[in-house]
Amino acid sequence: MCTTCGCGGGDAKLDGQPHSHPHHDQGPAKPGRRRISLEQSLLAKNDALAALNRQAFAERGILALNLVSSPGSGKTTLLEQTILRLQGQVPVVVIEGDQQTSQDADRIRAAGAPAIQINTGKGCHLDAHMVGHALDSLAPPEGAVLMIENVGNLVCPAAFDLGEAHKVVILSVTEGEDKPLKYPDMFAASDLMLLNKVDLLPHLRFDVDRCLAFARRVNPKIQILRVSAQTGEGMEGWLAWIEAGRTRALASRDLAKA
């Protein structure tokens, strides 16, 4: 279960195979103190596993990004275009999170990147244990960029650290400019917001300045880039942001080895 909605992930699958999980055998939480205790225990276990993931990334100079959004924001299309633009320059590996199907992982593989699909079943988010297990199968090379495409949900993924360097929240202009105020935890937890599908702005009643002001009200430090995965607008800025993060990851690895 997660801390917000009580979802269960006991039927999670990794590339179609059943994925046992140490956190999901506790049964439904009862109201009151027992529920609070279970929530705290769950997050503490997750944070401990996330720390192990983070250490593994640091030792190998891997930049891990946790891509979060609501369904339909264009995450997978953005990821496909990112992979195509980085091909031959930067190794990219992908963990795909969805409740069912392997369609997104199939799309990512077709774009040229190794990918592993995690199906969460009834669960509405990825957690650190799932990511750590997927890493064993992916075995990303040193200096890789790991893209974790989380389950489409602007609530629960905000609470679960996966060991990533940054959460990147994708908001499309088709969703409404008030999303940062409606889902503040996600925008507060993210270091970067990608405002996607900006090519559609001429056809919509979407106030960009209002949206950006709402995001900065929730998180004054959040960086914001405007992009269109369809037309390529703003993609160079996004790629430069990734490269800067990868450079820092490699420098930290080299410093630790010195």
The pLDDT score that the predictor gives to residue 226 is 98
C-alpha separations of 230 from 57, 161, 204, 252, 258 in Å: 31, 30, 16, 34, 43
For 226, residues 6+ apart whose C-beta sits below 8 A from its C-beta are 194, 195, 198, 208, 233, 234
pLDDT at 20: 60
For residue 185, count other CB atoms closer than 10 A to its CB: 15
Structure tokens at 150: 């989380």
Q: Residue 167 in 3-state DSSP?
A: strand
pLDDT of residue 19: 67
- Report pLDDT for 26: 46
CATH, domain range 30-257: 3.40.50.300
Query: What is the rounded CA–CA span in Å between residue 69 and residue 189?
Result: 12
- What residue spans define the domains of the chain? 30-257
Q: Half-sphere exposure of 179 toward its Cβ, with a 13 Å CA cutoff? A: 25
Residue 68 confidence (pLDDT)? 98
Q: Tens-digit pLDDT profile for the chain (258 aa)?
A: 565 555 655 567 777 777 665 544 444 445 556 656 666 778 899 999 999 999 999 999 999 999 999 999 999 999 999 999 999 999 999 999 988 888 999 999 999 999 999 998 888 999 999 999 999 999 999 999 999 999 999 999 999 999 999 999 999 999 999 999 999 999 999 999 999 999 999 999 999 999 999 999 999 999 999 999 999 999 999 999 999 999 999 999 999 887
* Contacting residues for 88 by C-beta, under 8 A, at least 6 apart: none
pLDDT, position 24 = 46
pLDDT of residue 27: 47
Predicted structure pTM score: 0.87
